Amino acid sequence: MNTRLLGIVTAALLLAAPAFAHHSFAMFDYNQEVTLLGEVKQFRWTNPHIHILINVPDASGKVNEWDIEGATPNSIRRNNGWGSETLKPGDKISIVVHPMKDKSFGAMMVRASKPDGSPFGNPPRPN
């Protein structure tokens, strides 16, 4: 009887493992949107989420490196027409984000565009 129960518990934990592996987005302040203007340092097209490292000058001119987390590569390709080569180091970017609650230089991407407002990638056209 104990062996059977152990087997059931083990199977349940193995099936639930992917859910435990995915992290929370509770660290982002969803009540605040901030627009950052900066230059792409690195674009990471990786699972489970893309990351854009950008250098953003503050009001005093000091440059801060922000780590912006985006959607999954599949989702951002489908919804925004992005690919692994969409952003390159040196590209100028305007990006709207939900900043970290702890005020560190990290955020979740809401939307991004070129500084003139035109989109990156080939977004799908509305029907």
| Domain map (residue ranges) of the chain | 24-113
Cβ neighbour number for residue 68 with a 10 Å cutoff: 27
* pTM, entire model: 0.77
Residue 29 near residue 100 (C-beta atoms within 8 A): yes
Least confident of 9-23, 46-60, 71-85: 9-23
Closest Cα to residue 66, out of 84, 47, 90, 39?
39
Sole residue written with tokens 């001119």: 61
- Summarised one tens digit per residue, pLDDT across range 55-77 is 999 999 999 999 999 999 999 99
Which CATH number among 2.60.40.1930, 3.20.20.210, 2.40.50.140, 2.60.120.10 corresponds to the domain 24-113?
Answer: 2.40.50.140
Are 70 and 76 a contacting pair, CB within 8 Å?
yes
